[in-house]
Amino acid sequence: MSITRSLLNLIYNRRTIRKFKPADIPEDILHMIVEAGQRAPSYNQAYSFILVSDKEKRRALEEVCGIKYISNASAIIVICSDLNRVNKMFNYLNPNHVLTSNEHPVEVIYSIFETGLATQNMIIAAEVLGFGTALLDCVLVEAEQVAALLELPKGVIPIGLLCIGEKDELPPKRPRWPLHIVFHKNKYREPNSYEIANYVEESSETYDQEGYLMKYAGISMKYKDYFIAKIEKTKEVEKKYEKLSKFLKKAGFKI
Ligand SMILES: Cc1cc2nc3c(=O)[nH]c(=O)nc-3n(C[C@H](O)[C@H](O)[C@H](O)COP(=O)(O)O)c2cc1C
């Protein structure tokens, strides 16, 4: 089998892993993973990756996230978008640079986009090396606390938490929209209500067949009901997001 084919096979078959065997990951393996991240397409390399190996900090981070299975991971890396270093590089080049402007949507979008591209390269590199990964959003939701814990300067925001470890489960492949819904030709085609309903019902059923919520969160609930509750615009969520928006804006992430 050609290298291309086997890499495609690995991409098609990757799943998020939430159960890991206790094992150490040597630092040189982590270097290989991060270096793979750095090879992703990038405009300003507006990212930083923070390995949290200090026991106290790791415990604090696990508490902020409130997700049990993080503790099984051999390594946890906080993925950050980093306009701080970009700002310093631009200052060096031209003090009257775009980041000194009140609005700089292009740089903000690029920084988040290229952080994501690098993260996906890291996920695939970990797979190639035989490790499993889970990407979690808790560090973004609790950005202010995480920023304080990791002493992030202004301009650096946590985007995701990448958990890496030896796989201790082989879950089924999780649902995706059918290709013809996400792949458009020449113009945008609106999904119709039947297609939306079909996907929601079928994917929820797949998660229920896996026993997804019980397995990972100990929740006895239909996935669809969980999803309905999760996306609800509550007063609490609105307040939390308002606070998060303020923090992101203060950090220079203004769109
Ligand atoms: C930015 C981002 C944040 C995520 N955060 C979480 C999370 O906090 N908890 C979780 O269970 N899944 C989270 N996910 C989704 C999973 O990582 C996973 O991709 C999804 O359940 C689909 O499963 P699969 O990767 O096995 O196909 C996140 C995904 C992305 C892209």
Atom 9 of ligand 1: nearest residue by CA position:
136
86-97 burial, b at 16+ Cβ within 10 Å, e below that, comes to bbeebeeeeeeb
* Distant-in-sequence contacts of 28-33, Cβ < 8 A, 24+ apart: 29/129, 29/131, 30/75, 30/77, 30/164, 32/125, 32/129, 33/122, 33/125, 33/126, 33/129, 33/164
pLDDT for 87 equals 97
* Cα 137 to ligand 1 centroid, rounded to whole Å: 8
Atom of ligand 1 nearest to the CA of 216: 11
CATH of the domain at 69: 3.40.109.10
- Of 144, 12, 10, 126, the closest CA to residue 77 belongs to 126
Same domain, 163 and 183: no
Atom 7 of ligand 1: nearest residue by CA position:
136
Amino acid in position 89: M
* Cα 135 to ligand 1 centroid, rounded to whole Å: 5
Structural domain includes residue 62:
yes
End of a domain among 124, 144, 171?
A: 171
Token code pair at residue 4: 């291309």
Strand, helix or coil at 99?
helix
Structural domain includes residue 251:
no
Residue 194: burial class (beta carbons within 10 Å; 0-12, 13-18, 19+): exposed
Same domain, 56 and 167: yes
Same domain, 82 and 200: no
Structural domain includes residue 222:
no
Structural domain includes residue 244:
no
Token code pair at residue 255: 């769109």
* Cα 158 to ligand 1 centroid, rounded to whole Å: 16
Same domain, 86 and 193: no
24-49 burial, b at 16+ Cβ within 10 Å, e below that, comes to ebeeebbebbbebbeebebebbbbbb
Atom of ligand 1 nearest to the CA of 174: 27
User: Ligand 1: which of 12, 135, 226, 230 to mutate, judged by most atoms within 8 Å of the beta carbon?
Assistant: 135
Pocket of ligand 1 (CB under 6 A): 15-16, 134-138, 160, 174
β-partners of residue 134 are: 163
Same domain, 80 and 204: no
pLDDT digits (tens, 9 = 90+) for 148-193: 999 999 999 999 999 999 999 999 999 999 999 999 999 999 999 9
Same domain, 79 and 197: no
Domain that holds residue 204: 179-210
Structural domain includes residue 253:
no
- Of 16, 31, 8, the closest CA to residue 165 belongs to 16
Same domain, 144 and 201: no
End of a domain among 171, 200, 228?
A: 171
Structural domain includes residue 149:
yes
Q: What CA–CA distance (Å, rounded) separates 85 from 51?
A: 18
pLDDT for 178 equals 98
- If you ran DSSP here, which 8-state letter would residue 252 be given? T
Confirm if 70 and 62 have CB atoms less than 8 A apart: yes
Structural domain includes residue 219:
no
Same domain, 162 and 70: yes
Q: What CA–CA distance (Å, rounded) separates 45 from 115?
A: 8
pLDDT digits (tens, 9 = 90+) for 183-215: 999 999 999 999 999 999 999 999 999 999 999
Same domain, 105 and 54: yes
Same domain, 193 and 140: no
User: Ligand 1: which of 16, 212, 213, 227 to mutate, judged by most atoms within 8 Å of the beta carbon?
Assistant: 16
* Cα 136 to ligand 1 centroid, rounded to whole Å: 6
- Of 105, 77, 89, the closest CA to residue 44 belongs to 89
Atom 6 of ligand 1: nearest residue by CA position:
136
Structural domain includes residue 105:
yes
Same domain, 124 and 37: yes
Number of folded domains that form the chain: 2
Quote the mean pLDDT of the chain: 95
pLDDT digits (tens, 9 = 90+) for 234-252: 999 999 999 999 999 999 9
Q: Does residue 1 carry a pLDDT above 60?
A: no
Q: Does residue 3 carry a pLDDT above 90?
A: no
H helix intervals, 66-192: 83-93, 105-128, 138-141, 143-149, 179-182
Same domain, 187 and 164: no
